[in-house]
Structure 1
């Protein structure tokens, strides 16, 4: 019992001593402060790069999903549209349940169904309540991307 108290006290003293030493170095050593600032900047820049990369990757995913939707033939008659809608929604749900990581194809199916639905605003509201968040984010981005006219 006494030995563990002594060892614990020594470890606590060492930790406090290191904290005091680190604080002293941080306050008084200009080279150490510069090193800390460089590390902070490096971490901050790496974080920004990761965010840019994630945004770029998401934009590419949106473009690819829109290309899949554009390549999907849209039926013309009302009965065919209804059947197409049901198939696309079922396929989108099935794809997400089988492969949760593959949200692009699932979102493309849901978006194809949205395009043939007679009241897309109501369907989008239903999607917001029922569709998983990653797919919903992709659907929102697809809708925003498609509704903005491109300048060519």
Structure 2
């Protein structure tokens, strides 16, 4: 045997295995796609994903009579706001922080903290969004948050 015939058979075997693997993948994909529950599972997965994205973008009413739900929502909004701001997504970050202020039991203290830690333009944006966000968090019929009236301008002096 020559050296060229010795390297010929491993190449043929490798090509054969590659073709066999691709053929198996095509066969398996066809079988999967033709399975009756595949389309149902795919539709359910897409519907669930669509609902999840719409819930994350929707404003919804918080039950202000449930302190544990309010606390959880407050912490979640603070975390999301910090995450968004750290990524440079200022618009969503301000929205989440305004929602946290809207459900906070001591909004003046939180606003004072924000005034000291955030850049002035972000702090002003929170102030501007607060009435709209508070109304969306607590529902259109309620115009209060944290047990007090909506504060459009905190006492900055």
Q: Do they superpose with TM above 0.5?
A: no
Q: So what's the TM-score if we normalise by structure 2?
A: 0.43
Q: So what's the TM-score if we normalise by structure 1?
A: 0.44
